[in-house]
Chain A
Amino acid sequence: MKDVETRPKKYEGVLILAIFLATLPLIIGFSLLIISSFSKDMVTNFDFKSFHLTIENWINVFRGKLAITGGVKVNMAKIVLNTLIVALGVSGLVTLVSVMSGYALSRMDFRGRKWVIVSLMLLHAFPGVALIVGVYLLYRISFPQGQDWVRVYSFIYVIFARAALEVPMSVWLMKGFFDTIPWEFEWSGIIDGASRITVWRKIMLPLIKPGILAVALFSFLAGWQDIIYVRTFLIDQTLATFIEANIEAEYTHMPLIAAAGTLYLLPTIIFFLTAQQILLRGYSGGIKG
């Protein structure tokens, strides 16, 4: 028996077509970007006469060379590494906080619990831009004066600031995942003599793997694509700020930026391709007898 609602086959084609048409602008946009990254000229419309196959753009991106001729060189490996540090940092922090808080909110009764649950959504409603003044002020009064730590601190601060924006929604999501797991699972563990922490770690976490992965993935992407906080606080460049600082239509060799843009897209594509099965896999377990 299927676990989803089924519809008559005759409408299937229409639905697929509608979904395809709705996503067509995105598909075209990304396709043109990827095609342009392999072309000498940008392919900005359906006139493929401007497409001349080359891998020069990719070679130049990896060499950190921004122009066909010129001495503008950047350390692309370092830029990618910076982006990864921010993205993985945000992902790790958000996942850790939300997995623990989600469990607490789902399972434990404490004073102000209801208020915390309600305010989670409210917190998520605040866009990063609106908070930037406060976050900026906090950074100004908190950053270390010692030269050795400023660079490291800027990474830590960006990770914390960006993670703070993701935590409310992630906690809410994790709480939802924990809510779906019957109490009996925990009871049986506790009866067997396990502590709450052990139950959380050994029984609950394996059961909500898809949820953890979803939270980790989305927070990774939030960190990967962040531009406002990274540009404001981070001393070093990430891929987002690098691309932003080098889009100057008159000067820039745009196919090279298309290659950098495609590189920027890669983690998203790879994550979705590899993780979609796990994400779609719902809870499937049994109650210990």
Chain B
Amino acid sequence: MKWKATLLMAILVFAVIASGCIGSTQETKTETSKVTLTGDFTKDVIEIGKILQQNGINEVKFAAWGSGDPNSVMRVYGIVDAAYKINKIWEQNGIKVKITVTTKYDQSFKDQYQEFLSKQPLGQAGDFFVNSYAFLPTLAEEGYILDITEYAKAYQNVIDDFYPNLLEAAKYKGKLYGLPQDTEARPLYVRKDVAKCAGLDVTTLPEDVKSGEFTWSDVYYWAKKAKEKGCAEWGLIHRKGSAHPDLIQFIFAFNGKLYDPSTGKLVLDVPAVYKWLYVEWKFAQDGLLPKDIMSWDWAKQIHPTIVEGRTLFDIGGTWYWTEWQTKQYYHGRGLKPEEVKEWFAYTLFPAGEKGDKPVTLSQPFIWMINSKAGQLNPKYEELKDVYHALAFLMIVKASDSEINAIHSVISAHLPVRKEAAKLIKDENWLNKLKNLDLDLAPEVKDNIKDIVEKTVNPINAKFLADVSYMLEYTHLAPAHPKYPALADIFKEAVDKVLRGEMTPEEAVKFIEDKIKADKELADNVEIKGEIPKEWEFPRGD
């Protein structure tokens, strides 16, 4: 049996040596190259180009991942254009390095986030990742995205041009993890012809809403009147889904909270949630809002009902404005810009009741950089800092006010930079965009020309300029990991009150019970306040 013992020992020794070898890296004494950003874009780009060239790199490969509606493709083409402009600078300065960018654009941003989560540790996720701010804290906590705080210090002039509240959405624990890419508002659309039929004056409506004079009691009053007079089939149509982030505007409109920054916990603000559910219940029970709207089809029911004028009010998003032009919701065709302008008025989401404030809600998308950006390039370990600095400069370039303004106009999202907001009001620039007479990468021009043709016109630009003020009233849904679970419970409760399966009181109790039943959720949600006993809705007249 001796030979067996010897064999066993040999195997053991081999295994120990082999395990020691696995994962070990050979120590090399290559001089690491670092770059210090100066804030002068051209100078920094040239410096990086020289370092790459000295290290024998002639091609830098990056992948840009973006997602969203079909018109929001600048989320990836912004990066492609940044590469084009950096390549141009290098070419002009005799630097023989080129950036090539591959793009991946999916329509489901949640699915792409899941994919990023699984592929980032493997080094197979995109180097650039544009997605909802809501995912940023998790990605930052996991170390999956790059902390760009230090880089950003050199480009403070660019950073200062972003709207501050949006910049906050790109931060986590005081550190900057990306740059805002776009945002939106969620206006209340009013069908002008239906309003006229019902006797509602829409010309002063935006101001009345802004001052808090026109509240949800008034929305109910006019919705009822429009229905009773036979002006429309419905008084109100709203969005469906997980009640995130559209319907939770009601919580803010009724002066409620959803998050307590002092405890870091989510909040179930019982009075505000009760009032929200009561409004939903009242509208649905009085036949002003479809009881089954949470299961309506977007393309066959929700949008056609709005564009065909079968409702007085609609809670929508700014992107509806161009979506109605590019999709065939109106009797098999899209609306003309003139029609959208003529048929729809828009206001902030009205205050819940007198004394409250009007609101809107935004879900900014953020340009994030993978913490392993450039990993698939040569000499990654030695040149990591250079690749990361280059990636940062690319998102700076992709955030150029012109790129941001193009994205805003063609996708009906709101600009995130003040300079971009100015640009969309500039008629000359708009004409240039219409003719694609701008210095953009040929690939980008080629791929956006269809959208530009359909969406770039003074009417759409004016709409964006008109609704930009709404950002001053905006709220962000909490970027809390347990928020999606709470939003799903809200959705269930809304569906039940709409269908008449529960009264608002029962629905609030249902939400409380659901929270308490989930230990993790219960630990993360504070239940505050009680159902207001004396509260009345709507106004009596």
Find the residue from B61, B112, B124, B376 having the highest chain A CB count within 10 A: B124
Residues of A within 8 A of B61 (CB): 147
Q: Say whether B112 contacts A42, CB under 8 Å.
A: no
Shortest CB distance A132–B (Å): 9
B123 at the binding interface (Cβ < 8 Å): yes
Bound Cα distance from A232 to B328, whole angstroms: 36
Bound Cα distance from A69 to B104, whole angstroms: 18
Residues of A within 8 A of B454 (CB): 69
Per-position 1/0 for B118-139, Cβ under 8 A of A: 1101111000000000000000
B88 at the binding interface (Cβ < 8 Å): no
Q: Say whether B111 contacts A244, CB under 8 Å.
A: yes
- In residues 443-458 of chain B, which contact A (Cβ within 8 Å)? 446-451, 454
Shortest CB distance B388–A (Å): 17
Q: Say whether A41 contacts B299, CB under 8 Å.
A: yes
Bound Cα distance from A154 to B123, whole angstroms: 12
Bound Cα distance from A139 to B327, whole angstroms: 43
Shortest CB distance A28–B (Å): 18
Shortest CB distance A80–B (Å): 17
Q: A69-B326, A70-B451, A140-B122 are known contacts. Are A50 and B300 too (CB-CB below 8 A)? A: yes
Q: Say whether A252 contacts B124, CB under 8 Å.
A: no
| Pick from A70, A139, A249: contact of B298, CB under 8 Å | A249
B165 at the binding interface (Cβ < 8 Å): no
Q: Say whether A248 contacts B447, CB under 8 Å.
A: no
Bound Cα distance from A69 to B450, whole angstroms: 6
Per-position 1/0 for A210-231, Cβ under 8 A of B: 0000000000000000000001
Shortest CB distance A103–B (Å): 31
Q: Say whether B299 contacts A66, CB under 8 Å.
A: no
Closest to A242 in B: B106
A143 at the binding interface (Cβ < 8 Å): yes
A246 at the binding interface (Cβ < 8 Å): yes
Bound Cα distance from A139 to B124, whole angstroms: 12
- In residues 240-266 of chain A, which contact B (Cβ within 8 Å)? 244-254
Bound Cα distance from A251 to B71, whole angstroms: 10
Q: Say whether A245 contacts B115, CB under 8 Å.
A: yes
Residues of B within 8 A of A67 (CB): 70-71
B332 at the binding interface (Cβ < 8 Å): yes
Closest to B74 in A: A71
Bound Cα distance from A141 to B122, whole angstroms: 9
The number of chain A residues touching the other chain, given as a range, is 35 or more
Bound Cα distance from A249 to B240, whole angstroms: 11
| Pick from A147, A233, A235, A251: contact of B68, CB under 8 Å | A251
Bound Cα distance from A150 to B375, whole angstroms: 11
Q: A147-B378, A232-B119 are known contacts. Are A154 and B124 too (CB-CB below 8 A)? A: yes
B90 at the binding interface (Cβ < 8 Å): no
Residues of A within 8 A of B100 (CB): none
Q: Say whether B73 contacts A245, CB under 8 Å.
A: no
Residues of A within 8 A of B114 (CB): 231
Q: Say whether B122 contacts A66, CB under 8 Å.
A: no
A52 at the binding interface (Cβ < 8 Å): yes
Residues of B within 8 A of A253 (CB): 70, 327
Bound Cα distance from A246 to B299, whole angstroms: 16
Bound Cα distance from A48 to B61, whole angstroms: 49
Q: Say whether A72 contacts B70, CB under 8 Å.
A: yes
A196 at the binding interface (Cβ < 8 Å): no
- In residues 29-76 of chain B, which contact A (Cβ within 8 Å)? 61, 67-71, 73
Residues of A within 8 A of B67 (CB): 245
A276 at the binding interface (Cβ < 8 Å): no
Shortest CB distance A114–B (Å): 24
Q: A140-B122, A143-B122, A232-B118 are known contacts. Are A248 and B300 too (CB-CB below 8 A)? A: no
A125 at the binding interface (Cβ < 8 Å): no
B108 at the binding interface (Cβ < 8 Å): yes
Bound Cα distance from A233 to B446, whole angstroms: 32
Q: A69-B326, A69-B451, A70-B450 are known contacts. Are A248 and B107 too (CB-CB below 8 A)? A: yes
B503 at the binding interface (Cβ < 8 Å): no
Residues of A within 8 A of B328 (CB): 40, 68
Residues of B within 8 A of A73 (CB): 447
Q: Say whether B112 contacts A245, CB under 8 Å.
A: yes
Residues of B within 8 A of A249 (CB): 297-298
Bound Cα distance from A231 to B119, whole angstroms: 9
Shortest CB distance B484–A (Å): 16
Shortest CB distance A143–B (Å): 7
Q: Say whether A251 contacts B112, CB under 8 Å.
A: no
A195 at the binding interface (Cβ < 8 Å): no
Q: Say whether A246 contacts B106, CB under 8 Å.
A: yes
A44 at the binding interface (Cβ < 8 Å): yes
Residues of B within 8 A of A250 (CB): 69, 241, 298
Shortest CB distance A123–B (Å): 24
- In residues 123-169 of chain A, which contact B (Cβ within 8 Å)? 136, 139-141, 143, 147, 150, 154
Per-position 1/0 for B15-26, Cβ under 8 A of A: 000000011000
* 14 examples of A-B residue contacts, CB within 8 angstroms: A68-B70, A69-B71, A69-B450, A69-B451, A70-B70, A71-B73, A74-B105, A147-B61, A245-B111, A245-B112, A246-B107, A248-B109, A251-B69, A254-B299
Residues of B within 8 A of A (CB): 22-23, 61, 67-71, 73, 77, 104-109, 111-112, 114-115, 118-119, 121-124, 241, 297-300, 326-328, 332, 376-378, 446-451, 454
Besides A69-B451, A244-B108, 7 new A-B residue pairs in contact (Cβ under 8 A), listed by A number: A42-B297, A44-B300, A69-B70, A70-B70, A71-B448, A72-B107, A143-B122
Q: Nearest 4 CB-CB pairs, A to B?
A: A67-B70, A71-B447, A70-B70, A245-B106
